[in-house]
Amino acid sequence: MVHKTFSPAWKSSSQPRKQRKYRYNAPLHIKQKLVHVHLSSALRQKYGTRHVQVRKNDKVRVLRGQYKMREGKVERVDLKRERIYITGMEVIKKDGSKVMVPLNPSNLMVLDLDLGDKKRKEKLESHKKVSAGSAKVEQPTKTKRSTQ
């Protein structure tokens, strides 16, 4: 029996098993969107966007779990498993070796962006322009029609 692994036509389901299947079997270009991290309020205001794809050397803060309120630089992003590894977030194994703890991107917040990449900088700047333009556009007010 052949199982269909991934369908981009999947809309939504309230069943957790289908949501998990969608995430597990998604190709990397879709998993890339699932590894976005919220921006701090200062960066959110500066760039006019709520979240950004996390990259190596971004400075992040952990918001949930054992390492809550700790900050560090992103060491590695694992797209396949949707996990992020941060310097300083390590666990010591019984044999004495240190292993980095994989963290879920939903539990992180970006404090400082690595803008060494020109394309990334341009993309953030374009978000700023779009959000500034949409903020100026006023919604038309509804007026009551007079009946004659």
Q: How far apart are CA 95 and CA 52, in angstroms?
A: 38
pLDDT tens digit string along 109-127? 999 999 998 998 998 888 7
Q: How far apart are CA 100 and CA 73, in angstroms?
A: 12
Q: How far apart are CA 87 and CA 65, in angstroms?
A: 16
How many residues are given for the chain?
A: 148
pLDDT tens digit string along 34-63? 999 999 999 999 999 999 999 999 999 999
Predicted pLDDT of residue 2 = 65
CA 114 to chain CA mean position, Å:
15
Predicted pLDDT of residue 104 = 96
For the chain, list the domains and their CATH numbers.
16-123 (2.30.30.30)
Sheet of 83-92, strands arranged across = 51-53, 36-39, 108-112, 59-62, 71-78, 83-92, 98-103
